[in-house]
Structure 1
Amino acid sequence: MTNILDRRLHAFRPDLADQALQGQVEADRFTKGEPAQVTVPVAALHPVPDLARGIDTELLIGETVRVFERADGWAWVQADEDDYVGYLPETHIGPVRAPTHRIIVPRSFLYPEPELRKPHVAVLSMGSQLQIVGEAETRGNHYHVLADGTAVMSSHCRPVSEDLDDYVAVATRFIETPYLWGGRSGIGIDCSGLTQLALMMAGKKFPRDTDMQARVGTEITREDLRRGDLVFWKGHVGIMEDAETLLHANGHTMTVARENFEAAVKRIGWLYEQPTGYRRIL
């Protein structure tokens, strides 16, 4: 039974497993895990506890996880947003504090106080979740203030209960953001990370990896493509900005870029062959 469960989405090892999997997998011990929250701007999630290994995905500040184990400076966790399982440094998580707002621009600066002339202390990505406790104004600029006194621009935030209207428009905000394998932030992002993050900002939970995403929604034909549809290749996904334009994070330009769809199909074909599917998700 163990072999048919996706290890990316189910927390199980021979010595330890998620309590919810009891009866489905074999393990020496089961645990329900404990809640925690990401406390750094961007936390890389690794498949093994080794900083030298490539990353599977990233978690943003304020996102919550369940922690199944803490050992040797690492935490083995499962993300609440998309169920992804992996390892991150234990110092990157802390107690859960209910967020009130999230960042709605691709990147924003966190200042040590409500003053944009001060050196920033962090760069926050779209989707970052913050607990705001106050407001301030300096020379006409409005700030949201966090409990530790740090501050972000009010115009860069929106209450967590308010979703953005158009996920394609959200995705276009990332144009020229650098491509990063496993990236899921405004600092660097990959193709499926762009799709997932844009949809998350529009209030739709969506899987992380392309093979997972390709099972969501309704299958359509190439001739039916319109704004918001997804095009899949083996290991790649793009968003149709309109019937002729593909928006995708890609290793060709090493950015998020617009590309004529037919030209993209021809260019990508030599390496990834033809698209494997077309999906309408909304």
Structure 2
Amino acid sequence: MSELDLRVHAVHTERGVVEPALVGQFPTLRVLAPRTVYAAGQIPLHARPDGTSPQVTEALHGEALELLEELPGGWSWVRTLHDGYLGYAQTGNPSDLAPVQPVTVQIPRSHLFAAPSIKAPILARLGRGATLASLDSQPVRHGDYLWWRVAFEEGEAYLHDAASQAASDLPAFAEGYLHTPYVWGGRTAWGLDCSGLAQLWAGRDFQGKDKQGRSRLPRDADQQQAATTPVEKPEAGDLAFFEGHVGIMLSGGRMLHANATHLRVTVETLGEGEYGRRLEAGLLGFGRIGTDE
């Protein structure tokens, strides 16, 4: 039996549990009964059911999760269904129902307001990919702006229509995320890591997912390298891979990446300057993201 990748395969021998897909390999373990829920708010997923353990990824508001196992202290073992990644989260009160008439945030950062006014109290901050249930079939004008009226917690809230519109070209994407703080396991413009940035770029169309609801790229850099098509000469938008790291190629050897060296998203030119030379020396290759047909 080949070694399982425990980032995506749900088996925990100490707790004696296994997901249904792996029961044939672990017939003596208790089989879990997963159910799909939808995240309420932006939820950090941790390496262990302990808030002091590292964050491994995030679930965005309205994103589908597979709830595998409920644990003491309000913790749950969950899987982010768009990329199959496992972690432990305090999910609060997730919804069992998918958002109806969904509206998805398409800009890097946005806010949810208590009323259709830019002066209204802010109820939540939202990153690109957060999905809400619209209570109307289209945005409604209030004053100078169009607003989406959406369901939020036990009531309603308002999302500026500009948040649901975004350009998907590479220069606009790079401008939108440049200088974003580096956060291990982060997936939004409030803070992200290298592979989180690559996922956002890969998912600029179809709200980050294919027609079956899966991300075009898995979560981590090594998984992403395995999922892309190797190329010798990169074009703008291709990915550059290093040991435990990934960047997005722009042009002329320039690369956009979230990095712990500068603790933010920066642009480097491979082979130029001390950092650029170190990056070039550690380059493992380039990969091209597949497209949906």
The alignment's TM-score, normalised by the length of structure 1, stands at 0.89
Superposed CA deviations along residues 140-167 of structure 1, whole A, max 9, x for unmatched, are: 1111011322001012115xxxx96546
Tell me if 1:254 matches 2:263. Answer: yes
Q: In the alignment, does 2:18 pair up with 1:4?
A: no
* Correspondence for 1:151 among 155, 158, 176: 158
1:280 aligns with 2:288: yes
Q: Which residue in the other structure is 2:38 paired with?
A: 37
Q: Any idea what SS the aligned residue of 2:92 has?
A: helix
> Could you tell me whether the CA contact under 8 Å between 1:167 and 1:201 is conserved in 2?
no
User: Residues of 2 paired with 1:273 and 1:50: CA distance?
Assistant: 38
* Structure 2 CA distance for partners of 1:276 and 1:7, relative to 1, 3 Å: same
Q: TM-score, normalised by structure 2?
A: 0.86
Query: Cα deviations across residues 217-239 of structure 1 (Å, max 9, x unaligned)?
Result: 22222xx1220111111011110
SS of the counterpart of 2:162? helix
Match of 2:144 among 140, 143, 152: 140
Identify which range, 182-191 or 90-99, moves more after superposition.
90-99
Structure 2 residue aligned with 1:170: 173
- Helix, strand or coil for the counterpart of 1:152? strand
- Residues 49-90 of structure 1, C-alpha deviations (whole Å, 9 max, x = no match): 000001111111111111111121111111110000111003
2:114 pairs, out of 105, 112, 115, with 112
Q: Which amino acid aligns with 2:191?
A: G
Distance of aligned partners of 1:269 and 1:258 in 2 relative to their CA distance in 1, 3 Å threshold: closer
Distance 2:167 2:11 in 1: 35
In the alignment, which residue of structure 2 is the partner of 1:211? 222
Shift of 1:114: 1.1
Q: Which residue of 1 aligns with 2:80?
A: 79
Q: Which residue of 1 aligns with 2:213?
A: none
Report SS of the residue matched to 1:23.
coil
Match of 1:47 in 2: 47
Aligned residues with identical type, % of pairs: 31
**Is 1:189–2:200 an aligned residue pair?**
no
CA contact (8 A) 2:23 2:29 kept: no
Q: Please, which moves more after superposition, 78-87 or 133-142?
A: 133-142
Distance of 1:7 and 1:170 partners within structure 2: 32
Amino acid at match of 2:195: S
| C-alpha separation in 2, matches of 1:191 and 1:253 | 12
Q: Deviations over 1:218-274 (max 9, x none)?
A: 2222xx12201111110111100123211111122221122223227x516558952
Q: Is the 8 A contact 2:271 2:279 kept in 1?
A: no
The question of whether the paired residues in 1 share the 8 Å contact of 2:140 and 2:148 is answered with yes
Question: Following TM superposition, by how much is the alpha carbon of 1:31 offset from its aligned partner in structure 2, in angstroms?
Answer: 2.4
Which amino acid in structure 1 is aligned with residue 150 of structure 2?
Answer: L
Q: Offset at 1:168?
A: 6.6
Aligned residues: 273
* RMSD value, Cα: 2.2
Match of 2:275 in 1: 267
Cα distance in 1 for partners of 2:177, 2:19 equals 36
- Provide the rounded CA distance (Å) in 1 between the counterparts of 2:65 and 2:5: 18
